[in-house]
């Protein structure tokens, strides 16, 4: 029997991924979006990130199991990038919360907002944005394939060996 996560329609997964992309674009420039919007988007993205990881868990487990064996270079790079993205995103969210100027004080929490955490947030968030660009580039085939499938367009020819493990 297919797992609960596997039965979530592709269209919903695509909408979720697209939502994350829009959120990332909103996060790029807090001065343009306003600091309050920036902070709330940054906070909301944490559970969405966990959901995104849960949806892609079968891929993560499959790659981790095969990592000791030979895998296509593309898949190896992909999994290293994904792990790195997860780590820097957690650092960006935690440091962001620790320098919060609007959301946390509004909830009644006083945060230090030290210059060290500010620096950590600046560096980690810039890394997040760079790695997201690479992540999108690596997943581009999956995105195009899924958009075509959801839109009811005929599938393109594909390289089965690489794509089976590097979706
Ligand atoms: C993955 C999530 C996040 C990303 C990608 C991100 C990205 C950024 C970027 C690019 C900047 C500008 C840094 C600079 O001045 O060069 C920034 C600043 C800032 N972020 Fe975030 N952020 C995230 C999460 C959060 C969260 C969750 C909060 C608070 C709840 C937050 C609060 C702030 C604050 C207060 C600033 C302004 C710092 C200053 O004025 O020096 N961020 N963020």
Q: Cα(121) to centroid of ligand 1, in Å?
A: 6
Q: Cα(76) to centroid of ligand 1, in Å?
A: 30
Q: What is the pLDDT of residues 93-126, one digit of tens each?
A: 999 999 999 999 999 998 878 999 999 999 999 9
pLDDT at 164 over 70: no
Closest protein CA for atom 33 of ligand 1 = 96
105 close to 111: Cβ distance less than 8 angstroms: yes
Q: What's the pLDDT band for 1 if we cut at 50, 70, 90?
A: very low
In the numeric block, which tokens belong to residue 102?
């609007």
Q: How many CB atoms lie under 10 A from the CB of residue 151?
A: 8
What is the structure's pLDDT at 72? 81
8 close to 51: Cβ distance less than 8 angstroms: no
Q: What is the pLDDT of residues 31-66, one digit of tens each?
A: 999 999 999 999 999 998 888 888 888 888 887 777
Q: Cα(16) to centroid of ligand 1, in Å?
A: 22
What is the structure's pLDDT at 62? 80
Tell which atom from ligand 1 comes closest to the C-alpha of 28. 10
Element counts in the chain: helices (H) and strands (E): 9, 0
Torsion of CA 153, 158, 161, 164, to 10 degrees: -20
Q: What is the gyration radius of the CA atoms in the chain, in angstroms?
A: 18
Closest protein CA for atom 32 of ligand 1 = 96
| pTM passes above 0.75 | yes
pLDDT at 30 over 60: yes
Helix axes 57-66, 35-55, angle to 10 degrees: 60
Beta strands in 1-144 (DSSP E): none
């Amino acid at each position: 029997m297919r797992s609960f996560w596997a039965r979530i329609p592709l269209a919903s997964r695509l909408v979720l991924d697209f939502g994350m992309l829009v959120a990332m674009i909103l996060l790029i420039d807090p001065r343009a979006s306003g600091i309050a919007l920036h902070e709330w988007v940054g906070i909301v993205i944490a559970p969405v990130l966990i959901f995104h990881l849960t949806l892609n868990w079968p891929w993560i487990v499959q790659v981790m199991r095969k990592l000791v064996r030979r895998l296509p270079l593309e898949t190896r790079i992909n999994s290293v990038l994904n792990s790195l993205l997860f780590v820097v995103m957690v650092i960006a969210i935690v440091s962001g919360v620790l320098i919060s100027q609007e959301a946390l004080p509004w909830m009644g929490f006083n945060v230090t907002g030290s210059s060290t955490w500010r620096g950590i947030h600046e560096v980690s968030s810039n890394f997040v944005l760079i790695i997201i660009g690479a992540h999108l580039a690596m997943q581009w085939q999956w995105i195009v394939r899924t958009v075509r499938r959801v839109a009811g367009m005929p599938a393109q020819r594909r390289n089965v060996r690489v794509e089976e493990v590097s979706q």
